[in-house]
């Protein structure tokens, strides 16, 4: 892996504007217990599949950890983790100098996390939020298939 992507500091003197309204909006963004994550967890639980949620003892703090099966699941937000990044990147209008390196570093960190966890013997599954919202049963089927391997 190449060198880490540097993210510029989010400072007004650098041209980054953080209005009180945008700060309030950003503070509401959840990093755990998002609706798609809860939806997936409830579906697994209802099938009798047990797990640990937001498991902090492993790199990346997996959203769902099934340690017995060495299976880790992440639910990634499209914006934060760069879904269809090459198509979306040119559409970013404000604070591009901050957001482009920020999201690209998130993507790079996801790869590093996957590699480290896989090297430790875990299977890592990642689902986009929209996959869970639009096809929860398909996501569950993929997980069950993995558990049966």
CATH number at residue 141: 3.40.960.10
In a domain, 24, yes or no: yes
- pLDDT at residue number 6: 78
Q: Is 126 exposed, middle or buried (0-12, 13-18, 19+ CB in 10 A)?
A: middle
Q: How far apart are CA 113 and CA 33, in angstroms?
A: 20
- pLDDT at residue number 3: 83
Q: How far apart are CA 10 and CA 99, in angstroms?
A: 10
Split into its structural domains, the chain has a count of: 1
pLDDT in tens, 91-124: 998 889 889 999 999 999 999 999 999 999 999 9
Q: What range defines the domain where residue 142 resides?
A: 12-148
Per DSSP, what are the bridge partners of residue 78? none
Stretches where the chain sits below pLDDT 50 are none
Closest CA to 60 of 1, 122, 109: 109
Task: Give the chain's radius of gyration (CA, Å).
Answer: 17
In a domain, 2, yes or no: no
Has this prediction a pTM greater than 0.75?
yes
Q: Which two tokens stand for residue 5?
A: 């992507």
- pLDDT at residue number 21: 62
In a domain, 7, yes or no: no
């Amino acid at each position: 892996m190449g060198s880490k992507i540097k993210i510029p500091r989010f400072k007004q003197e650098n041209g980054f504007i953080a209005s009180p309204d945008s700060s309030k909006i950003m503070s509401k963004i959840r990093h755990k217990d998002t609706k798609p994550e809860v939806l997936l967890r409830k579906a697994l639980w209802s099938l009798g599949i047990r797990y640990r949620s937001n498991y902090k003892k492993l790199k990346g703090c997996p959203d769902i950890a099934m340690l017995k099966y060495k299976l880790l699941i992440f639910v990634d937000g499209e914006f934060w983790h760069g879904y269809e990044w090459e198509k979306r990147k040119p559409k970013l209008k404000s604070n591009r100098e901050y957001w482009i390196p920020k999201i690209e570093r998130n993507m790079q960190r996801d790869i590093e996390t996957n590699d480290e966890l896989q090297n430790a013997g875990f299977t890592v599954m990642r689902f986009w939020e929209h996959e869970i919202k639009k096809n929860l049963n398909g996501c569950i089927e993929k997980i069950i298939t993995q558990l049966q391997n």
